[in-house]
Amino acid sequence: MANQELNISTRDVIIEEVTLIGSNGRSEDINTGTVFDVIRIYEDIFQHVITGSIQITDGVGLFTRLSLHGNEFIKIKFRVPGEGLGNPDVRFDKVFRIYKCSDKRPLENTQMQRYELFFCSEELIFANQITLSRKLREGGARDHVLSICRKDLKINRKKLYPSHFEVAMGTSDLILTQYKPFEAIEYICSRAYNENESTFLFFENRDGFNFTSIEKMVKREAIINYVYPTAKMTYNPSNAAHTNYNQISKFTYPKVFNTLETTASTAHNGRLLTLDLITQSYKKYDYSHLSAGSRKMLMDTAAPNSPASKLSFPYNNAQNRNGKAIYEEYGTEVNYCLTNKGNGNLDYFRNKTVRSIDTSVERTLLQRKAQLNFLTNSQLECIVPGNPLLTVGRMVEFYLPAFMPQDANNRRIDNYLSGKYLVTRVCHVIAGQTLQTKLTLSKNCLNDNLDNFVDNQNYKDARDF
């Protein structure tokens, strides 16, 4: 049973193991007494590995006994009851590399000191120590990323599930020269795409490493639906962990829209100017987020009374002083790049032993910039009851209340911002015997169409003022 004094944003946690493993052959179980104060574990869809920190109050000479200097490991293992989550037991079990110590200071009038140890997946440290210089041939982006993970980073197979690595187009033969492993993977991601020109991301979550497209992530089913308590909902602290597992206690939108930012980038559209040195030809490509492929990357609707046909980009067709909508000004950002599109069919290459491998810049450069910019068009930060199942790259639902007068029985739901969100950042916080989870959720669409622009005199006067 949950602690009745806890807020609904926490859950009881059973800490099974917190062990520091030193390079001097010693190990210390610090899951006793008050040795550690707070553990924070971070996942981020835009970072390659899981990171975290642990704050320690040390009065037993732990720092000296383990000779802490950055070659240590920490094993963290905890679980929470799975009631209400569809699982009998929800567990987190991982080993990390210690890489930094900071804020080391004595506690006044005591024989104790306090410091914070920072940790990350071992792969991040190892990747800093090696470089890659070789050819990657006979395979696509998926095979190349798996090859780097297995052969170079030597990642444990428990972290590498082939099903987490999506087949991609756009990359076949590559030559790497003095690349760090994660730099090489990021380069491959920038050139990879699927049939709808969806770009790819590489990251680690609680399930292991992932190489997947934005489209695949946003089309997943939601793993949980969250609600915000209203005046009509009751909270029973005696069984909070069971009945309130899907309630958001606090939330804020640090970003709902930012037109100044999106019009200064390729979030809505962009222009690419290419030069082919072989054919001496120059071409212009205009890309808009309203393309058919981009629409398939909108997050599936899950909001009440919002069918998929109502999915909308978060802007309407209001015109600027040139009489164009925000997505029709392709000069927002002009990109320049060399290309070799179609050169493989030229007689020059067919009659020689060398090959021309299409760089596919026309299908990746603008698309990647726009999709990454637009993925976080709206961002929601919230605190939810601790749940180790929550991990980046998964979808959740959030029924946002409408802040307007409500009827006698129910509070209205915001039809625009309610619906599916992608989990882009997770922070699990363990303090004492409780677990709290902080989420950053991102949305690239609205679940209802905005009213179309009407060029009335008031709007025209304001725009042209």
Q: What pairs with residue 250 in β-bridges?
A: 383
- Residue 335 belongs to a domain: yes
Coil, strand or helix at 191? helix
Quickly count: other Cβ atoms within 10 Å of residue 71's Cβ.
15
Count of CA atoms in the C-beta half-sphere (13 A) of 117: 30
In degrees to the nearest 10, what's the CA dihedral of 254, 259, 265, 270? 140
Task: Give the span between the Cα atoms of 41 and 245, in whole angstroms.
Answer: 20
Last residue of a domain, one of 125, 159, 187: 125
Contacts of range 184-190, beta carbons closer than 8 Å, 24 or more positions apart:
184/132, 184/148, 185/48, 185/145, 185/148, 185/149, 185/211, 188/141, 188/144, 188/145, 189/141, 189/145, 190/364, 190/368
Task: Give the span between the Cα atoms of 413 and 417, in whole angstroms.
Answer: 9
Contact 394, 421 (CB under 8 A): no
- Residue 288 belongs to a domain: yes
Closest residue by Cα to residue 190 from 337, 74, 323: 337
Read off the CATH number of the domain in which 119 is found.
Answer: 2.40.10.10
Task: Specify the pairing of strand 334-338 against strand 269-276.
Answer: parallel
Quickly count: other Cβ atoms within 10 Å of residue 353's Cβ.
5
Query: What domain range includes position 18?
Result: 10-125
Closest residue by Cα to residue 168 from 202, 123, 134, 135: 202
- Residue 74 belongs to a domain: yes
Contact 96, 73 (CB under 8 A): yes
Per-residue pLDDT of the chain (465 residues; tens, 9 = 90+): 333 333 445 678 889 999 999 999 899 998 876 688 999 999 999 999 999 999 999 888 889 889 999 999 999 999 887 544 445 567 899 999 999 999 999 988 888 899 999 999 999 999 999 999 988 887 889 999 999 999 999 999 999 998 999 999 987 788 889 999 999 999 999 999 999 999 999 999 999 999 999 999 999 998 888 877 653 433 333 344 445 677 887 899 999 988 888 888 888 888 999 999 888 899 999 988 777 667 788 887 766 666 666 778 888 889 888 988 888 888 888 999 999 888 878 777 777 666 777 888 999 999 999 899 888 889 999 998 888 889 999 999 988 888 877 765 667 788 888 889 999 999 999 988 889 999 999 999 888 888 888 888 888 888 888
Count of CA atoms in the C-beta half-sphere (13 A) of 201: 22
Contacts of range 405-413, beta carbons closer than 8 Å, 24 or more positions apart:
406/230, 409/232, 410/232, 411/230, 411/231, 411/232, 413/303, 413/304
Domain count for the chain: 2
Nearby residues of 432 by Cβ (< 8 Å), 6 or more positions away: none
Let me know how many helices (H) and strands (E) the chain has, helices first: 11, 21
- Residue 299 belongs to a domain: yes
- Residue 46 belongs to a domain: yes
Q: What is the pTM of this model?
A: 0.89
Q: Where are the alpha helices (DSSP H) in 130-264?
A: 141-147, 181-191, 214-218, 240-243, 259-262
Task: Give the span between the Cα atoms of 179 and 183, in whole angstroms.
Answer: 6
Residue with the two structure tokens 């677990």: 435
Quickly count: other Cβ atoms within 10 Å of residue 254's Cβ.
9
Coil, strand or helix at 47? coil
Task: Give the span between the Cα atoms of 413 and 400, in whole angstroms.
Answer: 6
- Residue 141 belongs to a domain: no
Last residue of a domain, one of 371, 394, 421: 371
Last residue of a domain, one of 371, 398, 417: 371
Quick one: DSSP state of residue 153?
Answer: S
Task: Give the span between the Cα atoms of 237 and 60, in whole angstroms.
Answer: 38
Q: CA-based diameter of the chain, in Å?
A: 83
